[in-house]
Amino acid sequence: MAFNLKSAAVQTRESRLGSITGYEGDLYDLVEQSRCGSLRNCERCFSQSSMCLSICALGQLGGIRDVAILYHAPSGCCATAAGAKVMYRQIGAVIGKEYRSNMVGTDIDESDTVFGALDTVHDIARTVVETYHPSALFIASSCVTGVIGEDIDSLAEELKEEIDIPVMSVHCEGFKSRVWASGFDISDHAVLQGIVKPPKEKRQVINFKNFFESARPEITRLFAEFGVTPQFLYVNSTVEELSHISESLATVCICGTLGTYLGNALEELYGVPYIRTVNPLGVTGYETWLREIGRVIGKSEEVEVYITRERAIYISQIEEVAKELKGLRAVIGMGPGYTYEVARVLAELGIDVVWAAAWHYDYKYDNGDVPPALEHLRNTTPNNIKLSVADQQNYEVMNILAEYKPDLYFSRHPGSTVWAIKQGVTAVYVADEYMIFGYKGTLSFAKTVLDTVRNRSFAENLAAHTQVPYTDWWYKQNHSDMLKPNPAEVR
């Protein structure tokens, strides 16, 4: 795909990647439809509320250590800002870095909505810069400012003339995409537009796109074995560091959904190779990922030495735990960057995935390929897997759990995990993005699963003392009846 940094806004995933939020079928069918281009989104006759893409966009930008975000929005849209600030401050403290970024909401009200408020926003921007001295300023739109057409692009251009730091407009109106991961692309677009500079030299650095970098020390040690250092994005990065990411040897990511826009754009615009293998979760994922990194940076021999050494430590231990897990039945409900990766890892551990739900599905990534984890699963799994795509429609997940009665539910979102537990289904909350990273993470994950199934008292007790709002009537319904193909949709 051609990346156009001159365009103020990045296209949504629906229009750029053909992403969908409504599907029910199976692995073979989804891959086949993706390959031949016949995949269509299905509409629901009922939907629960989901998440806003601006939280993803501004959450990513807010992780940068020295910026200001001016969010031209009603106060309610800024509800997550305080929690994010506390979290990023704590993540910075772990590595002894001071977090100085701030998000300021413009608190747009009824009068502003009728008459516009750009002059006020201009004044607020100047005050923000004078008060916090950020290294870059992002001016973000919300649903209301998008609807009334506030011209934040012109405002950003005006401010660039007045203040000596990068100023970027960020078009993150929540209504424009059902796929909240569109927010990741919006943040990448802003960083690429205003902060990343063309390369002047090559540096022995690998860009590592992730969420909260809990494995920072481990990955730093790992990359040191190959003579490179990681540049984690965006949490704990600075504007100065980001300006150089076009000079790195490669870009990798912990989640394909998170990494596709930045990774592909850096490759296309600046020739930084993007590692597009399955992700480093489980044994196969980790080794595939490492070998591709080794190939791209010319360190294949060092990678093989590392793999041989670490295999000797971990593989037999993983296999020992896997013997205890064999035959367990699982349902997965996660974002698509993890659903198919975790399904592969569970298969490695001998666990049968009876249903895998992804919160959306990218029909292709920005390089035009079917997401590699799905393609890999299709090519390696001996059994077809029932799949659905639902933007965290928990009522559907509850129906699926009631029907399939799995031994375990795996989810990466607390709002989904807790409902399964209330229903009495033992759940593993795969909260940390690095929970299954590498050999060590895979062993630890396998032990966590074993501990979880050996003691189900939490789910049993919570279910015994909770009345869920779902009735037998709903559990007897066929959840697929909620989905109808959209005949108007033509790709």
Which residues contact ligand SF4 (rule: CB under 6 A)? 52, 54, 73, 77, 142-143, 174-175
State the nearest-atom distance from the C-beta of 418 to ligand SF4, in Å.
Answer: 22
Q: Is 52 or 347 the residue whose CB approaches ligand SF4 more closely?
A: 52
Residue type, 312: A
- Alpha-helix residue ranges (DSSP H) falling in 366-437: 372-380, 394-404, 414-422
Dist CA 268 CA 115 (whole Å): 42
386, β-bridge pairs? 26
Burial grade of 13 (CB within 10 A; 0-12, 13-18, 19 or more): buried
State the nearest-atom distance from the C-beta of 53 to ligand SF4, in Å.
Answer: 7
Q: Check residue 107 and give left, alpha or beta (phi > 0: left; psi -120 to 50: alpha).
A: left
Contact call for residues 441 and 280 (beta carbons, < 8 A): no
Q: Is 146 or 166 the residue whose CB approaches ligand SF4 more closely?
A: 146
Return the number of other C-beta atoms located less than 10 Å from residue 30's C-beta.
26
Q: Is 52 or 195 the residue whose CB approaches ligand SF4 more closely?
A: 52
Of 187, 155, 145, 156, the residue nearest 56 (C-alpha): 187
Name, in order, each residue with C-beta under 8 angstroms of 469's C-beta and a sequence gap of 6 or more.
Answer: none
Residue type, 181: A
Q: Check residue 37 and give left, alpha or beta (phi > 0: left; psi -120 to 50: alpha).
A: left
State the nearest-atom distance from the C-beta of 337 to ligand SF4, in Å.
Answer: 21
State the nearest-atom distance from the C-beta of 288 to ligand SF4, in Å.
Answer: 37
Measured over the CA atoms of residue 277, residue 280, residue 282 and residue 283, the dihedral's sign is positive
485-488 contacts at long range (C-beta below 8 A, 24 or more positions apart): 485/40, 485/42, 485/43, 486/40, 486/41, 486/42, 486/43
Contact call for residues 234 and 208 (beta carbons, < 8 A): no
Q: How far is CA 202 from the centre of its chain?
A: 28
State the nearest-atom distance from the C-beta of 48 to ligand SF4, in Å.
Answer: 14
Q: Is 34 or 54 the residue whose CB approaches ligand SF4 more closely?
A: 54
Q: Is 53 or 68 the residue whose CB approaches ligand SF4 more closely?
A: 53
Q: Is 66 or 173 the residue whose CB approaches ligand SF4 more closely?
A: 173
Dist CA 340 CA 345 (whole Å): 9
Biggest CA-to-CA distance, the chain: 68
Q: Is 178 or 276 the residue whose CB approaches ligand SF4 more closely?
A: 178
Residue type, 101: S
State the nearest-atom distance from the C-beta of 170 to ligand SF4, in Å.
Answer: 11
State the nearest-atom distance from the C-beta of 107 to ligand SF4, in Å.
Answer: 12
Q: Taking each helix axis as running N to C, give the angle between helix 81-94 and helix 53-62, from 0 to 180 degrees, rounded to the nearest 10.
A: 30
State the nearest-atom distance from the C-beta of 174 to ligand SF4, in Å.
Answer: 2
- Alpha-helix residue ranges (DSSP H) falling in 151-299: 152-162, 182-194, 216-224, 239-242, 256-270, 282-297
Q: Is 77 or 117 the residue whose CB approaches ligand SF4 more closely?
A: 77
Cis peptide before 234 (omega within 30 of 0): yes
Q: Is 175 or 458 the residue whose CB approaches ligand SF4 more closely?
A: 175
The residue number whose beta carbon is nearest to ligand SF4 equals: 174
State the nearest-atom distance from the C-beta of 144 to ligand SF4, in Å.
Answer: 7
Q: Is 58 or 343 the residue whose CB approaches ligand SF4 more closely?
A: 58
State the nearest-atom distance from the C-beta of 351 to ligand SF4, in Å.
Answer: 36
Q: Is 5 or 143 the residue whose CB approaches ligand SF4 more closely?
A: 143
Dist CA 464 CA 478 (whole Å): 25
State the nearest-atom distance from the C-beta of 108 to ligand SF4, in Å.
Answer: 10
Q: Is 73 or 343 the residue whose CB approaches ligand SF4 more closely?
A: 73
State the nearest-atom distance from the C-beta of 439 to ligand SF4, in Å.
Answer: 40
Q: For residue 85, what are the CA distances in angstroms to 63, 122, 185?
A: 8, 23, 21
